[in-house]
Amino acid sequence: MLFNSLEFAIFLPLVFLLYWFVFDYTLKRCSKQLIWQNLFVVVVSYIFYGWWNWRFLVLIAFTSFCSWGSGLLINQSSKPKLWLTLNIVVNLLILGIFKYFNFFVDSFCDLFNLTNNIVIKVILPVGISFYTFQALSYSIDVYRKKIEPTKDVVAFFAYVSFFPQLVAGPIERATNLLPQFQKKRTFDYTEAVDGMRRILWGLFKKIVVADNCATYVDQVWANYQNECGSTLALSAILFAFQIYGDFSGYSDIAIGSAKLFGIQLRDNFLTPYFSRNVAEFWKRWHISLNTWFVDYVYIPLGGSREGRWNTIRNTFVIFLLSGLWHGANWTYVTWGLYHALLFVPLILMGRTKAYYGVTTWKQSPQIFFTFGLVVLGWIIFRAPTIGDVPVYLLGMAHGAWRCSYRFFILHEMLPMNWAIILMLSIEWL
């Protein structure tokens, strides 16, 4: 069920009314009101997820049960590391099979010039990366003594499957979200109104900005070999706003929807295109994913505590994993490698930890330079295959001085341009 679909437009208000004005009213005097409230969240979340393919409900339930059980075993066992490792291996094995099986088989056959006789095509479950990482963070935090394991299986299942952020994030931590399911929630009109504003803003970014940019970008990529340089450059820039409108728009809808149910989710995008260098960009872009990799991969590897070259190595590891997390394609891996390379000079100059305050117009040259580097990375991200990247870049460089006629077709481009300007202006303010 997509956020910008008719089904969700019916589903959300119906669930809202049942959540607050039916179940909450009828169960006010019930001693187990919280359990029933959380159980309702689990049921509607499974309906939301099962709308796509009900068969994969077993998978999310299994992941939830394994992580919940491992938390109890880690706390009670004399060998907590064993149970933590087992849970991590099981969950990553499931993720690897469903998300990367076809990718690794095809890559292996291509590497050794073999014929792929394996006809199994594994379907990728929607949101599996999000809820797997969320479940794993719980067991790791229990092992690190950052959170007490919960015996409330219903609250835990609600934490993993909460429908607003189930398929597109933000990736929540148990330390933030789980306690909210362990205490009674009451309706807050101000929060609900604020949530509706956030939903509408997310829909604007998704439908008005991202979808309109996607139409143009898809047309260009379908025949990019025959387009002039300025058209390719314009398409690359518009894709930057398309992917931002998609990702941040979905996060805004998720955050706003959660507010309707008395749940606070963390911000996931903080005006990343106003960043003054790539390090700042990654502090503002997909924050929940980046901090997940930092806390559970980068720091355990040593972080930046063991010298610059180890810092560079650890940076490459998390960016390669981040690229692979986004999809099973060598373009995503290369995109991660590209951003890791951009980090190297910042690490050598010691500029990755600097605090950056509010951006001003005086930093415009830095902002535009950083945006240009990010746009080049999005070309790698958007390319169908890695072989398309150099062809696109050469085409963009060749004849880029000639302005494409599409720059001047105001009736075609003006509404989209104004939508982007409006989005950037409001976020700047």
> Annotated catalytic sites, by residue?
326
C-beta pairs of 145-150 under 8 Å, 24+ apart in sequence: 146/175, 147/174, 147/175, 147/178, 148/75, 149/71, 149/72, 149/74, 149/75, 150/68, 150/71, 150/178, 150/182
The CA distance from 111 to 104, in Å, is 10
Rg of the chain on CA atoms, in Å: 23
DSSP conformational letter for 29: T
What backbone torsions phi and psi does residue 114 show, to the nearest 5 degrees? -105, 155
The CA distance from 255 to 199, in Å, is 8
- By CB neighbour count within 10 A (0-12 exposed, 13-18 middle, 19+ buried), where does 90 fall? middle
The CA distance from 332 to 319, in Å, is 10
The CA distance from 284 to 208, in Å, is 22
SS3 251: helix
DSSP conformational letter for 276: S
Spacing of C-alpha 220 from chain mean position: 26
How many other C-beta atoms are found inside a 10 Å radius of the C-beta of residue 87? 26
The CA distance from 107 to 103, in Å, is 6
Q: Which helix (H) or strand (E) holds 394?
A: helix 388-397
Amino acid identity, residue 137?
A: S
Rounded to the nearest 10 degrees, the angle between the axes of helix 229-260 and helix 410-428 is 50
Residues comprising the chain, all counted: 429
Give the pair of three-digit tokens for residue 18: 């049942």
